Structure 1
Amino acid sequence: METDYINQHKRNLVYALFCCLLLTACSWGTQRPEKASSQAEEPEIFPDYRDVTVPVNISPLNFRLTREADHQYVLITGEKGGRLECDGQRSLRFDPDAWRKLLEENAGSSLTLTCSSREAGGWKTWKSFQIHVDERPIDSHLVYRLIEPGYEKWHIVGIYQRDLESFDEKTIIRNDMTGYNCINCHSFCMNDPNRMMLHMRAVHDGTYIIRGKEIERLKTKTKQTISNLTYPYWHPSGKYITTSVNDIKQFFHAVKEKKMEVFDLESDVVVYDVEQHKILSAASLITKDAFETFPAFSLDGKWLYFCSAPAREMPADYDKVRYHICRVAFDAGKGALQLPVDTLVRADSLSYTFPRISPDGRFLMYTETAYGQFPVWHKDAEIRMLELETRQPVDMTLLNSADTESYHSWSSQSDWVVFSSRRDNGLYTLPYICRIQADGRPAKPFLLPQEDSEKYDYQLYSYNLPELVTGEVTISPYAIQQRAHEGPTTQVAFE
């Protein structure tokens, strides 16, 4: 009898809930603008997705009008057909399935967006703008580190992956699983999510190399090198990793216009043999009269690119250090460099760092700043590009902003890049995606979309080292955690 009463009570609750949902659903109808006054200006929106070029497989570009309004509305029509409308009080969120269908239907053409806002004086409809849909998809996942933009210490640091076709974000590893240590410098071989490396500093320190389900933990400081491995880049074969070794220091400015400087007391470039567990002396650049750092292989594996500056007295001459971008031939069969060194971008009055070669071998992208090799703290830092065959610069004006642009990485097909920028508030580094056209010219970049366009207002973390990969990183965070806490550590040799 008691059981029957409980079951009946549950049925009554379910029925009541159904009725409430039904009544609520009836009031959910789209609020379209009525008797709206037409405005001559385009709407101010965040993120600014006006006239951007996006890949056909990107997640919905949810945004909000930045005006004071009690309701917002947008109508999207496709050049090849289809339409989508959306409204909301604080922001505009598109149905993912409808968005995906609209983009696929209009690949290679444009969408026209017409926004309206209901304000104190009634509805206003703003001048329409377009979003261009490129038929070339972007690699499906983006990997980044989220870190508080502090200077002296950190609390939670994690490396995450984001599905660019949805809003699904997953943890690769977080430092609250490994003793609140520092986790940094993740890198992938040829955009392959199954071949990855990262460093842990302090507790459970070491370089972790992940190949499929196998995780190696390495001790990489040797008597012949000045530090553990630092800034890495994989050889396309997966057999080698080139990396700098750096004695890194920092200091803080006393003026509000500048925050801090990161510099090297000394630095070298080495090549690590993944299979033999040794640093190759014949493939390393170890000198006392120059600072070498930020190495990268070409995607055919035949060239080793790096940054080099004449050694100076540090920190006294911190603002006089200027880095060239150089390259030297690399013989993968012998594991050796072949001189001479070729200087591609000469540092006369500026400094150049972060060389990254497009997978098709056509372009060299790099960062320009007034001095030094760590431009993330430099407001003047911008991204530049060189066509390698002609050694002619490409106009990158449309990609850059009035604030810091720094780290960047290519997609596997050389048609998209992701880069770090502080253009939105000057404090937090956020990831922007940009189409690189066949002639190398950039389209207008766009901020990584979020399900909630206000997320960037309340998530007080910087996105560090954004890297595009062709699929999901499948290694479990718990597997990395277990490897950090247990198992042997291999000491790297120098030969």
Structure 2
Amino acid sequence: MKHENKYHRSVVFCLVAVALLVLACSGQYDISDCKSSARPPRLYPDYSDIVIPPNIAPMNFVINEAGEKFVVDIYADSSSVIRLQSKSPRIVIPTRSWRHLLHRSVGRPIYFDIFVYTADEGWTRHQRVVNRVASAPIDHFLVYRFLRPNYTVQEEMTIRQRDLESYRESLIMTTKTISGCINCHSFNQGDPSQMLFHIRWGAAGMIVARQDEICKIDTRTEFNSSPAAYSSWHPNGRLAAFSVNKVFQFFHAADDSRDVIDLASDLILYDCDDNTVSIDAKISSPFYMETFPNWSPDGASLYFCRAPQLRADFDLEEGYRDIQYDLVRIPFEPDSKTWGEPETLVSAAETKLSCSHPRISPDGKYLLFCMVDYGNFPIFHSSADLYLLSLATGEIQRLAVNSDKPEGFHSWSSNSRWIVFTSKRDNGIFTRLYFSHVDESGVVHKPFILPIKEPRHYQTLFKSFSVPELIRRPIPYRAQQFIDAALDEHLERRAQLAPDTEILPRPDIDSTRTVTDFP
């Protein structure tokens, strides 16, 4: 018994010692005796001097400073401070504390005090990082395409949905079972119940989800041998405008090596109720290449880009840099499906730049678009920048959010206070998604990258994000429903030209070139 009691006492002492050791190791670092640095800390991602949504997921980051211990205080005022301490420069913010902080800080700045310890220097407090929490939230969900930036066919390409208030992600569509390419997903004014996307090769067709029904449409007609491509839903939910393109890809020996131009393109109008395609010489002219349609929020105008039609004997090597697109607006009457006269808003002859991807803010005040040296596929061009056109004054501003790498596909939040766009600024190869706040005066603030749980993952992620679209609610359809619609021949319908349609003459294109329907 005596030996047994001695054994029990030894066990208790060991447990107490372990508990004290754990307590000591988990204790607060003493940063009271710290020196100050005159510069801010280097952070990855660069979450500094930005405006953030009040409903964004925790913005985890890495402190890119040499150190052995790290302390971060995040707060709006002294009454509620999130203190994080770590022996790793990787800073992970607790979700519940972060949400509480943002909720209390709407319309106010939040502060990040960052301390770094080294054995030689002791504790150093870097210059405070200040961000501001916007009053306007961002839409709850983001949909994007996720793929390798290959020239050839992908092993797998997916369309994904991300919950921006957390890190939850779900699969919307995959090419793993359909052996093709999926692209150009589009929603009617951020409504996830009305959407479409295209499948190329394999189970080719346009997948349309509308009124709780999913079907596949073959959009080719006697007028357009190419299927529909870039799309925009009319606000009435019945009509959609599309481009139909003949695309030629080529390569340069240096710099921006991959390139693409249209040899021909037109706009068509698809009626979901009648399953018909309408054309009009004002948007399907044999003298122009029209592309990138986008409806005004009231549906009374269509914005698009157009360039003079190339001749069949066009010399690619000598003339590809001369291909430049204007930004055009045309009035539209939806009941009669009639068009007014096209009006040039931004002239390539005046700017010496080419326009692409017009997207109008839901409040109808601004038009966000790209301009590039030539062509209409900006993500392949380092010169591609974002511009903002005031529809009230006609003033155009090159946005400060641009980098020396391509900025491309972009969209608006439903409240017109946020934009999301693709950029290659991180490494010049893979596109990432960036957000910027747009205030009531049209000022676009410093962008920040999509927050992810493990921020270092971006540095080893060899895939690209593209075609970001903000939506208000989650998509109510499952990936398997889209796959079933793609593979079920009984669900496929062939679009027809609208009655009494006069087929317009088509331009001749160079038959010696390998042409595709999409880049």
Q: Which amino acid aligns with 1:327?
A: R
Q: Hey, what's the Cα distance between the residues in 2 that align with 1:434 and 1:36?
A: 35
Superposed displacement of residue 354, structure 1: 0.5
Q: Where does residue 165 of structure 1 map in the other structure?
A: 165
CA distance in 2, matches of 1:389, 1:276: 36
Q: Distance in 2 between matches of 1:31 and 1:218?
A: 63
From 65, 69, 73, the counterpart of 2:63? 65
Asked if residue 490 in structure 1 is aligned to residue 498 in structure 2, the reply is: no
Q: Could you tell me how far 1:152 is from its partner in structure 2? A: 2.2
Cα displacement (A) at 1:83? 1.4
Could you say which residue in structure 1 is the equivalent of 2:347?
346
How far is 1:395 from its partner?
5.3
**476, 479, 482: which one aligns with 2:481:** 479
**Paired residue secondary structure (1:166):** coil
Residues 41-64 of structure 1 deviation map (CA, whole Å, 9 limit, x = unaligned):
100101101110001111111111
When residues 112 and 183 of structure 1 are mapped into structure 2, their CA distance, relative to the original with a 3 A threshold, is: same
Residue 107 of structure 2 contacts residue 132 of structure 2 at CA under 8 Å; is this kept in 1?
Answer: yes
CA-based RMSD of the aligned residues comes to: 2.0
1:218–1:299: structure 2 CA closer, same or farther, 3 Å change rule? Answer: same
Cα 1:25–1:290 change in 2 (3 A) is farther
The one-letter code sitting in structure 2 at the alignment partner of 1:435 is: H
Partner of 2:444, secondary structure, is coil
TM-aligned CA distance change 1:24 to 1:483, over 3 Å = farther
Q: Deviations over 1:105-135 (max 9, x none)?
A: 0101011111122335233221101010011
Letter in 1 for 2:167: F
Aligned mates of 1:23, 1:331 — CA distance in 2: 76
* Residue aligned with 1:401, SS: coil
Structure-to-structure mapping, 1:11-22, within 5 angstroms: none
CA distance change for structure 1 residues 70 and 189 in 2, over 3 Å: closer, same or farther? same
Partner of 1:146: 146
Shift of 1:35: 3.5
| Structure 1 gaps, min length 5 | 1-19
Relative to the length of structure 1, the TM-score reads 0.92
Deviation at 1:31, TM superposition (A): 4.4
SS at match of 2:98: helix
Q: Distance in 1 between matches of 2:325 and 2:24?
A: 64
**In the alignment, what sits opposite 2:115?**
116
CA distance in 2, matches of 1:86, 1:209: 47
For 1:242 and 1:34, locate their aligned partners in 2 and report how far apart those are by CA, in whole Å.
63
Distance apart, 1:237 and its partner CA:
1.2
Residue 409 (structure 2) pairs with residue 445 (structure 1): no
Residue 211, structure 1, aligned to residue 214, structure 2: no
Contact 1:394 1:440 in 2 (8 A): no
2:377 matched to 1:378? no
The offset of 1:284, in angstroms, is 6.6
Aligned to 2:193: 194
Shift of 1:245: 0.2
Q: How does 1:78-157 map to 2 (within 5 A)?
A: 78-79=76-77, 81-88=79-86, 89-121=88-120, 122-157=122-157
Contact persistence 1:382–1:404 (CA under 8 A) = yes
Matches of 2:20 and 2:225, distance apart in 1:
68
- The residue type paired with residue 195 of structure 1 is Q
Aligned residues between the structures = 473
Secondary structure of the residue aligned to 2:102 is helix
**Secondary structure, counterpart of 2:103 in structure 1:** helix
1:290-301 correspondence runs (5 A) = 290-301=288-299
Measured in 2, the distance between the counterparts of 1:240 and 1:28 equals 61
Contact 1:270 1:283 in 2 (8 A): no
Does 457-466 or 70-79 show the bigger shift? Answer: 70-79
Match for residue 55 of structure 1? 53
Q: Secondary structure at 2:99's aligned position in 1?
A: helix
Using the alignment, how far apart are the partners of 1:308 and 1:21 within structure 2? 72
**1:35-50 alignment runs, 5 A limit:** 35-50=33-48
- Partner of 1:454, secondary structure, is helix
Matches within 5 A, 1:73-472: 73-79=71-77, 81-88=79-86, 89-121=88-120, 122-176=122-176, 178-211=177-210, 213-255=212-254, 257-282=255-280, 285-312=283-310, 313=314, 315-316=316-317, 317-338=319-340, 340-348=341-349, 349-394=352-397, 396-397=399-400, 399-472=401-474
Offset at residue 290 of structure 1 (A): 1.2
CA contact (8 A) 1:64 1:453 kept: yes
- 1:378, 1:404 within 8 Å by CA — same for their partners in 2? yes
Report the 3-state secondary structure (helix = DSSP H, G, I; strand = E; otherwise coil) of the residue aligned with 1:262: strand
Answer whether contact 2:251 2:259 (CA < 8 A) is retained.
Answer: yes
| Separation in 2, partners of 1:436, 1:485 | 42
Judged with a 3 Å threshold, the aligned counterparts in structure 2 of structure 1 residues 350 and 24 are, in CA distance, closer, same or farther, namely same
The letter for the 2-side match of 1:115 is I
TM superposition shift of 1:482: 1.5
Contact 2:267–2:279 (CA<8 Å) still a contact in 1? no
Give CA deviations for 1:446-484 in whole Å, capped at 9, x if unaligned: 111111111211221111001100011120111111222
- What TM-score do you get using the length of structure 2 for normalisation? 0.87
Task: Tell me, in whole angstroms, the C-alpha distance in 2 between the residues paired with 1:84 and 1:258.
Answer: 45
* Cα separation, 1, equivalents of 2:23 and 2:153: 48
Q: Which residue of 2 aligns with 1:15?
A: none
Q: Which amino acid aligns with 1:309?
A: A
The CA deviation at 1:443 is 1.2
What's the counterpart of residue 6 of structure 1? none
Deviations 1:413-450 (A, max 9, x none): 11111111111111111111111111111111111111
Moved more, 64-73 or 181-190: 64-73
Between stretches 119-128 and 39-48, larger displacement belongs to 119-128
Q: Higher mean Cα deviation, 432-441 or 387-396?
A: 387-396
Q: Which runs of 4+ in 1 moved over 6 A?
A: 20-26
In structure 1, distance between residues paired with 2:93 and 2:128: 18
The CA deviation at 1:27 is 4.5
Distance in 2 (CA, whole Å) between partners of 1:199 and 1:30 is 55
Report the residue type matching 2:142 in the other structure. L
**2:398 and 2:146 mapped to 1: Cα distance?**
31
Kept after mapping to 2: 8 A contact 1:30/1:86: no
Question: For 1:412 and 1:22, how far apart are their aligned partners in 2?
Answer: 54
**Structure 1 residues 455, 289: CA separation in 2 closer, same or farther (over 3 Å shift)?**
same
Look up the match of 1:14: none
- CA shift in 2, pair 1:29/1:287, >3 Å: farther
Report the Cα offset of residue 212 of structure 1.
Answer: 5.0
Q: Partner amino acid for 1:126?
A: H
Change (3 A) 1:225 1:87: same
